A = this chain, B = another copy of it.
Amino acid sequence: MVKIGILGVGTVGTSVAKILEENADIIEARAGKKIVVKSGVVKNINKDRGVSIKISDNPLDVVDDPEIDIVVELMGGVDEPYALVKKALENGKAVVTANKALLAYHRYELQEIAGDIPLMYEASTAGGIPIIGALRNGLSANHIDSIQGIMNGTCNYMLTNMINNGALYDDILKESQELGYAEADPTFDVGGFDASHKLLILASIAYGIDAKPEDILIEGIENITQTDVDFAKEFGYEIKSLGIAKKVGNGVELRVHATMIPSESMIAKVDGVMNAVTVVGDRVGETMYYGPGAGGDATASAVISDIVDIVRGNQGPMLGYKKGLESGLKLLSKDDISTQYYIRLEVEDHSGVLAAITSSLEEFGISIESMLQKPTQDEAIATLLFTTHTCKEKKMQEAITALGKLDVVSGEIAMMRIEK
């Protein structure tokens, strides 16, 4: 019999306890041993969790309990779980965590501390989708060319509604909050931060890149308008908030942002709150993994798959490699990202304006791929929408600043990146 202690018996923790009990038949058959939850730790011991496990408000009751074999960390936060996971590993206990923030900041220290003790985290990224296993095991023969992930259900739900139903950003945000898909302060989701944590975890397995959220380009979906949506449709794109990791020579681009992607690509077809991750390996080509990115039971499914793996005696280093993965791979600076861009700006509607803009772009070596001009309410002002050929982020940022200074350009300039 294997005994589990759960730090944080909230929605996911409760699901873990319930599934281990209700699906005990199949889980025991697969793991080869009976798995039971011995105890759990919560902040408020007076709240009923609907599960019949011993509850304490002292994490050490789990972490220091010699009878507990596997500690499941579902607390959230960074510093406290880091200290507790560290202690559990030092006590020789295997650890399963769903905590993406903990890993976004401390995965390399934790791999070091864990050594040969299993520390697993399938639930940290894309909820119920076994993407960690796919990347860590299933694709191990491959150098990874790129990863593109829809890893935030809130953003995808909102964008799907903006594109398929013409919903306005503010309206669909409000609806998402009412449905419980978005928090009262939605910044962590719509700002791309949640996805950035997950991207960093995947990038570590794929590339061995040690970066923190503040090192990479993170942008949200807050500035997308129906004008952008209409343009995307007209030119055969969907708009998705993607976490992107891409190997370019000896560099790796890591970025999270709203992205125009061809409508016919598989990941463009992923709608609503669902998550999906596309991985391109140098040998296998493109594979995609699709499923629910959140929810108590779906996340618990991933947590328990890790527990079963540990009970089966599976080994292997936490991040999937025992020594430096690909020597020389470095995080590319934001400036060096290179991609195609979509630009929306308002201009005075008279002759010579287009020439002024294209010649301004040319100064930065940027050429236009496609263009659309639309009238606005104001007769004197037109909306200009265009896409560029591939250029460096630094040049594009400089070009946007320069365009903003042109007399003929009025208001904010909006930009979105394109991935083909």
Residues of A within 8 A of B (CB): 15, 19, 23, 25-32, 122, 128-130, 133-134, 137-143, 266, 269-270, 281-292, 295, 297-298, 300-305, 308-309, 312-317, 320-327
Select the residue from A26, A133, A270, A322 with max chain B CB neighbours within 10 A.
Answer: A26
Q: Which residues of B contact A128 (CB under 8 A)?
A: 281, 283-285, 287
A342 CB to nearest B CB, Å: 24
What are 14 of the A-B contact pairs (CB < 8 Å)?
Answer: A26-B140, A26-B142, A26-B325, A29-B324, A29-B325, A130-B138, A130-B287, A134-B134, A137-B309, A141-B305, A283-B301, A284-B298, A286-B292, A289-B290
Complex formed: what's the CA distance from A137 to B30 in Å? Answer: 9
Minimum C-beta distance from A271 to chain B (A): 8
A295, B137: Cα distance in complex, Å? 20
- Choose among B130, B142, B315 the residue that contacts A301 (Cβ–Cβ < 8 A): B142
The 8 Å CB contact of A305, one of B23, B137, B315, B327, is B137
- Residue contact A30 to B312, C-beta cutoff 8 Å: no
Task: Give the residue name and chain of the B residue nearest to A127 (CB).
Answer: B284
Q: Which of B29, B304, B315 contacts A322 (CB 8 A)?
A: B29
Is B290 touching A140 in the complex (CB atoms < 8 A)?
no
Give the shortest distance, in Å, between A339 (CB) and chain B (any CB): 24
Are the CB atoms of B312 and A142 closer together than 8 Å?
no
Residue picked from A26, A141, A143, most chain B C-beta under 10 Å: A141
CA distance A269 to B128 in the complex (A): 21
A326 to B30, CA, bound (A): 10
Report the Cα distance A266→B288, complex, angstroms.
12
B140 touches A305 (CB 8 A): yes
What are the residues of chain B within 8 A of A266 when measuring CB–CB?
Answer: 269-270, 290
Structural contact, A300 and B325, CB atoms closer than 8 A: no
Q: Which residue of B lies closest to A129 (CB)?
A: B287
Looking at the assembled complex, report how far the CB atom of A250 sits from the nearest CB atom of chain B, in whole angstroms: 13
Q: Is B142 within 8 A of A323, CB to CB?
A: no
Contact B300 A141 (CB under 8 A): yes
**The 7 residue pairs across chains A and B that have the minimum distance between CB atoms:** A130-B138, A287-B291, A141-B304, A284-B301, A128-B284, A288-B290, A32-B322
Residues of chain B within 8 A (CB-CB) of A134 are 130, 133-134, 138, 289
Do B292 and A290 have beta carbons less than 8 Å apart? Answer: no
The reply to whether B301 and A291 contact each other, CB–CB distance below 8 Å, is: no
CB-CB nearest in chain B for A207: B26
The contact of A140 among B30, B139, B283, B325, by CB within 8 Å, is B30
- Which of B19, B26, B31, B326 touches A25 (beta carbons < 8 Å)? B326
Contact of A283 among B28, B133, B300, B309 (CB under 8 A): B300
Residues of B within 8 A of A25 (CB): 326-327
Q: Are B284 and A291 in contact (CB under 8 A)?
A: yes
**Docked complex Cα distance between A111 and B265 (Å):** 39
Hey, which chain B residues are within 8 Å of A316, CB to CB?
32, 309, 312-314
Which residues on B sit within 8 Å (CB–CB) of A304? 140-141
Closest CB-CB distance, A301 to chain B, in whole Å? 4
Rounded to whole Å, the gap between the CB of A263 and the closest CB of chain B is: 11
Considering the chains assembled together, what is the distance between the CA atoms of A326 and B269 in angstroms?
A: 35
**Contact across chains for B305 and A138 when beta carbons are under 8 A apart:** yes
Of B29, B292, B317, B327, the contact of A323 (CB 8 Å cutoff): B29
